[in-house]
Amino acid sequence: MKSCRILVVDDSLITVRKISQALQDLGYEIAGTSLSGEDALLKFRELSPDLVTMDITLPGMNGIETVKGIMEIDPAALIIMITSHGQEQMVIDSIDAGARGYVMKPVKPEILKETVEKVLANYSVNPGSDTGLGGDRD
């Protein structure tokens, strides 16, 4: 089992449940869930998750603004955007704001697994590891 704790953020409860179940099936722990950007910031502070999956389109504070807020709290935060087709510019803006990767909806478990593993491998700070944080994402 992986010890990674994940915060799942999406304004659709159905999507939150699907992503959470897929992550649990892959062996990850769900630290918490959130349906809005504002709540995601509170939960991020409270739960200190290892990784966040973030919908781009959220009511009120959108996903890009939420990424910026999380990065202010923890510049080393690991965030994967969950996006719909046609949101390419928003994905670019999210990566520029600090997100480490993205997954297209509908979320396929194998793509989610690959993306989570890639982000953890490339950006996690592991004691004794020489990988550290991968700063350049070009």
What is residue 130's predicted lDDT score, i.e. its pLDDT?
A: 37
Residue extents of the structural domains in the chain: 5-123
Compute the average pLDDT of residues 128-138: 36
Residue type, 49: P
Mean of all residue pLDDT scores within the chain: 89
- List pLDDT tens digits, range 61-117: 999 999 999 999 999 999 999 998 778 889 999 999 999 999 999 999 999 999 999
The total number of residues shown for the chain amounts to 138
Question: Thinking of the domain 5-123, which architecture would CATH place it in?
Answer: 3-Layer(aba) Sandwich (3.40)
The mean pLDDT value for 122-134 works out to 52
Cβ within 8 Å of residue 19, ≥6 positions away: 8, 10, 53, 82, 107, 112
Confidence of residue 49 (pLDDT cuts 50, 70, 90): very high
